Structure 1
Amino acid sequence: MTGAELRAVGIALRASRKREGLSGAEAAARAGVSQPTVSRVESGQRVAGVEAVERMIAVLPFSQEEANRLTLMARDAYAFASSERRVDAGVSLIPGAGRRLLTSAAVVCGFQDAMVPALLRVPEYVTAAAGDAGSAAGWGKVLVDEGKTFRFVVTESALRTWPGSGAFMPAQLAHLLDVAQRPNVSLGVIPWGSGLPVMPPHGFTVCDEAGVLVETFTAEMTFTGLKHVTAYRNAFEALETVAVTGEDFSRVVERAADDIRQIIQ
């Protein structure tokens, strides 16, 4: 019930904030928390402690009865998670663990600096990626679930490098433009020449508060535990601040597609 309770609390907080006419930044200032914390709590994700949730409840116009109810729900969810912490929290190489994380998560955040994220690859890209094909095949089907939220950040370098001949890259980049139009997907790119606030040594995918998926050359690793998830989630949010989206994203992708067509012709 932990995840369901957190989502219920988040839905109630978001609805109250919007009725009050507050932006996420304004609610964060009132509660004395960061704006990313507001976003995570409203999305039903876990944050470092229940105190942040309690502060958000306190600054919104709930009745005393409703405030008490939401506070108890939040405390119960956090207390349950603490007492039932997985004994294998840390690093796992269990096959299929990453897929289970993806299919169960409500919010998925992915960053890649060398390749197109696995969830966004067209079949030809998956095949050309050879050893990666087995783990990535079929992951894109997860995107059709509009009950999930997906946030992706890639560097421009990831759009301009590819496995194999690259004959499929114009279609791959066109697919990215299509996916970016989906209501449950946010897709940003960090253009060449941008300074990065953090320098991750590899790509990663954060799945709610449950864990982080990392693809290596020989294995698929999952990191669990609050320490790991918080570190990767904070890194993603920092990278997201320097990524361009919307029309700017489309321009970067279209420019890369034009350049690639000239190379592969």
Structure 2
Amino acid sequence: MSTDFQTAREALGARLRELRAEAGLEGKDLAAELGWQPSKVSRLQNGKQTPAPADLTAWAQACGRPDVEAELQGLRAGLEMKQRHRSWRRQLAGGHRGRQEIAVRQTEATKMIRGLEVSRVPGLFQTPEYARVIFDANAEFRGIPPTTEAAVEARMRRQEALYDPEKTFRFLVCEAALYHRSCPVDVMAEQLDRLYNLVGQRRIELGILPFGTQLRRTAPHAFWIYDRRLVIVETISEELWLTGEDDIQLYERAWDWLAEAGEYGAPARRLIGRARASLDLG
């Protein structure tokens, strides 16, 4: 659970406790009034449990303050936003390894992953050296501990899922990602060789969105769809974890529209091969 979320939940709990005290009620009295166990009142006002909307309505009425219900519901809505928004500053405070272990578990729990990458190779397809450069650069950028080797190990372990016969991977990569080079030439060459060899493998659909292709929907940012239960979107400052049906449908439509413009199979290999040939290896 994110610290941002817990802090916001504790703030809501403190407001509930304040309302109870202003009403001159002990916790056990409020519980009896509402027909709850006293432990529920304790958990809610100490930020140990997330209240349901009906809980807040009942609490406000029992305290004789129906006028504050809208305020309480607004605080709860803020909780949901904190749960969706996960700051990189907090997630990576101890380095990359922890977030990579979360990625391993998410992948293990998923049958189909669909993803779009705009400017870099998807982590599931990265070589160890390419991943190492990405992690080192990000640690420097964010000023976090360089736990690179542990993060690379976790990322490579995550890639074992590519060979699970129960899983399917469908990815789109903008052609620009084949040319954007944040690593030495030899590392990029090895990475492009790996991508080339992944095209056409069973359970892996890798499409390239070519320069100059007409798109029904542009590709504004990267995103990953885990089955039909979760969409993860990365920004510079945070991740968005979206679980609402409307959000998932919207990103599925975006993925479908982009997939129409993808090049697959032999045409995808030609695009990767052209990028590989552009590298000057001396």
TM-score bracket for the superposition, by shorter chain length: 0.5 to 0.7
In structure 2, the CA distance between the partners of 1:213 and 1:142, relative to structure 1 (3 Å rule), is: farther
In structure 2, the CA distance between the partners of 1:221 and 1:123, relative to structure 1 (3 Å rule), is: farther
Q: Of the candidates 157, 166, 183, which is equivalent to residue 185 of structure 2? A: 166
Q: Per-residue deviation at 1:217?
A: 3.4
CA deviation profile, 1:10-34 (whole Å, cap 9, x unmatched): xxxxxxxxxxxxxxxxxxxxxxxxx
> What SS does the corresponding residue of 1:167 show, helix, strand or coil?
helix
Q: Is the 8 A contact 2:85 2:238 kept in 1?
A: no
Distance 2:250 2:103 in 1: 18
Q: Is the 8 A contact 1:101 1:210 kept in 2?
A: no
Q: Per-residue deviation at 1:175?
A: 0.7
Distance 2:170 2:116 in 1: 9
Q: Of the candidates 103, 123, 134, which is equivalent to residue 128 of structure 2? A: 123
Asked if 1:189 is matched to 2:208, the reply is yes
After the TM superposition, which residues 8-19 of structure 1 pair with which residues of structure 2 at under 5 Å, given as runs? none
After the TM superposition, which residues 54-133 of structure 1 pair with which residues of structure 2 at under 5 Å, given as runs? 91-93=84-86, 95=99, 97-129=102-134, 130=136, 131=138
Q: Is the 8 A contact 2:170 2:205 kept in 1?
A: yes
CA deviation profile, 1:49-69 (whole Å, cap 9, x unmatched): xxxxxxxxxxxxxxxxxxxxx
Q: Is the 8 A contact 1:108 1:207 kept in 2?
A: yes
Count matched residues. Answer: 177
Q: Per-residue deviation at 1:196?
A: 2.0
> What SS does the corresponding residue of 1:209 show, helix, strand or coil?
coil
Deviates more, 1:106-115 or 1:161-170: 161-170
Q: Is the 8 A contact 1:98 1:220 kept in 2?
A: no
In structure 2, the CA distance between the partners of 1:242 and 1:228, relative to structure 1 (3 Å rule), is: same
In structure 2, the CA distance between the partners of 1:98 and 1:91, relative to structure 1 (3 Å rule), is: farther
- Counterpart code for 1:107: M
What is aligned with 2:12?
Answer: none
In structure 2, runs of 5+ residues without a counterpart are 1-78, 92-98, 140-147
Q: TM-score, normalised by structure 1?
A: 0.60
> What SS does the corresponding residue of 1:168 show, helix, strand or coil?
helix
What is aligned with 1:205?
Answer: 224
Distance 1:125 1:217 in 2: 20
In structure 1, runs of 5+ residues without a counterpart are 1-86
Deviates more, 1:211-220 or 1:148-157: 211-220
Asked if 1:255 is matched to 2:248, the reply is no
Q: Per-residue deviation at 1:100?
A: 3.2
CA deviation profile, 1:83-107 (whole Å, cap 9, x unmatched): xxxx959614275554433221111
RMSD over aligned Cα, in angstroms?
2.4
- Counterpart code for 1:170: A
- Counterpart code for 2:226: C
